[in-house]
A = this chain, B = another copy of it.
Amino acid sequence: MNKTLTSVTEVPVKFSDVDSMQIAWHGIYVRYFEDARESFGKQYGIGYLDVFSHGFMIPIVHIDCDYKSPLKYGDTAIIEATFKDSDAAKICFEYKVYSKSDNRLVAIGNSVQVFMDTNYELYLTIPQFLIEWKEKYLK
């Protein structure tokens, strides 16, 4: 049984994030997910620059988000990013977004990333550095 790795990131809802319905625009959540991935990457040594140093880029190939409840200006989003282990050459995260003011669940989402080398060729086997990272962090 592997460990579950989660990072928690707080992002205040900014004036420019709010749309004319007075709620955080739905597209902002893609940035929240990115913020959460970056926090996770920093915390567990698997950020974009770490991955790039091993010769890989990790473009997004899938995003989904279900919106449960709105965030308003003045509120703060708490984004939990959980690494979903996979046997494929993919990096999968699940996200849960909460409102800090009242702990409401605001949104749930997922992302999938693949490995591309610096010639933009898709890499179909799990890179060695990720195998070692999983060995270190998930076991």
Contacts and interface: CB of A to CB of B under 8 A. Distances in A.
B26 A59 contact: yes
A15 B30 contact: no
Contacts of A60: 26, 67
Given A49-B74, A64-B63, A31 B16 contact: yes
Contacts of A19: 15-16, 18-20
A54 interface: no
A35 B14 contact: yes
Q: Within the oligomer, what is the number of copies of this chain?
A: 4
Contact of A22 (B20, B30, B66): B20
Interface in A47-75: 47-49, 57, 59-67, 70, 73-74
B34 A14 contact: yes
Contact of A27 (B20, B31, B59): B31
B20 A73 contact: yes
Nearest to A66: B62
B62 A67 contact: yes
9 contacts: A12-B38, A15-B48, A18-B20, A21-B57, A27-B30, A60-B67, A62-B66, A63-B65, A64-B64
